[in-house]
């Protein structure tokens, strides 16, 4: 695993990009000391995403895409993929339920608005 990590790829970031990653996503200890580098974070995310592949894991391919900034991951993945303190699947389920609730509320609002508009137009014709 260590042979795939290329720490020079941190130079692809500008200062504010590295600052954002270090403040929001890098794992810290209880005293606030950073415990990993950006490249180690990318490797950890890649290894987590490769878990379902079993024995034939190709985590290095995902690491290559992440470390070269060809793709990015959503905040729940960046924040939780390497942490044993949170149940990652529970976080995804909660996010899914929130999105579903907002979607249903939006559909209901549009349905009510559509019927109110039709009712007002129909009654004004008479």
Sign of CA pseudo-dihedral 37, 42, 45, 51? negative
Whole-structure pTM value: 0.61
For the segment 63-102, what is each residue's pLDDT rounded down to a tens digit?
888 898 988 887 777 877 776 655 556 666 666 677 778 7
Residue given tokens 């609002």 in the structure block: 109
Q: Are 53 and 21 in contact (CB under 8 A)?
A: no
Q: Find the distance separating the first CA and the last CA of the chain, reported in whole Å.
A: 76
What length does the chain have? Answer: 126
- Give Cα separations from 110 to 14, 82, 92, 97, 104 (angstroms): 43, 40, 27, 20, 10
Is residue 16 scored above 90 in pLDDT? yes
Residue with the larger pLDDT of the pair 69 and 109? 69
């Amino acid at each position: 695993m260590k042979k795939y990590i290329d720490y020079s790829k941190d130079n692809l970031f500008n200062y504010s990009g590295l600052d954002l990653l270090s403040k929001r996503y890098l794992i810290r200890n209880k005293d606030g000391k950073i415990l990993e580098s950006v490249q180690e974070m990318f490797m950890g995310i890649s290894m987590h995403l490769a878990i379902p592949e079993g024995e034939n894991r190709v985590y290095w391919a995902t690491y290559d895409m992440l470390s070269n900034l060809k793709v990015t991951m959503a905040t729940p993945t960046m924040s939780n993929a390497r942490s044993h303190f949170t149940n990652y699947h529970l976080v995804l389920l909660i996010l899914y339920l929130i999105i579903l609730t907002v979607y249903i509320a939006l559909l209901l609002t549009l349905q009510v608005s559509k019927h109110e508009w039709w009712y007002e137009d129909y009654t004004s014709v008479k």
